[in-house]
Amino acid sequence: MNIGIAKQEVRTIYGKARWCYLSSPDTAFNKEEYKVDLEVSKADAQEHIKAIKKIIDSEVIKVKGSLNKVKLPYKEEGDVIVFKLHSQFKPKMWDRNQKELGADITIWKDSTMWITFKPKGYNKSVGIGCTLYIQGGQIDKLVQGSPGSNGSCPFPKRSEEATA
């Protein structure tokens, strides 16, 4: 249920995970962050884009003087929109049957899911924009893995004879 566009209330979006750090945090750049890049069809993305633009517009109105760079939390890539969602805390995730996922479950890219998020506008020295903060999620189709398992390497298994 999507309520209160202008009030930046919690929204729900459905898509396929591209980069997925929901089971454990991404520790790059000396910080821990839970995040997911979620691919959404252009048609399904429109209501969210409209809400985000409204939030950004409200930040632009507050600016006096020159307009800073506008940073969007999504990118258009052909027939899909990729939304970038973040959290400093591990979000609670559930399966289709409303059962909370255990700590032993790892969520990988290509999983499909509903993510609830709260959009929050900002006006900082880096620019004006909107951050999408993850509140929680529900997995539709789970793709699992672990380091070293099939699927973690993007290359096929090669025989030793194939060396040049």
pLDDT digit string, tens, across residues 107-117: 999 999 999 99
Q: Is residue 44 within 8 Å of residue 51, measured between CB atoms?
A: no
pLDDT tens, residue by residue, 15-71: 999 999 999 999 988 899 999 999 999 999 999 999 999 999 888 877 665 566 889
**Nearest-angstrom CA–CA distance, 14 and 137:** 10
- Please name which of 31, 119, 39, 6 lies closest in space to residue 72, comparing C-alpha atoms: 119
Predicted confidence (pLDDT) per residue in 117-164, tens digit: 999 999 888 889 999 999 999 999 999 976 544 444 555 656 565 554
Q: What residues contact residue 70 under an 8 Å CB cut-off, 6+ apart?
A: 56, 60, 127, 128, 129
Question: Where do the DSSP E strands lie in the chain?
Answer: 11-26, 33-41, 70-71, 74-77, 80-87, 92-94, 112-124, 127-141
- Which pLDDT does position 60 carry in this prediction? 80
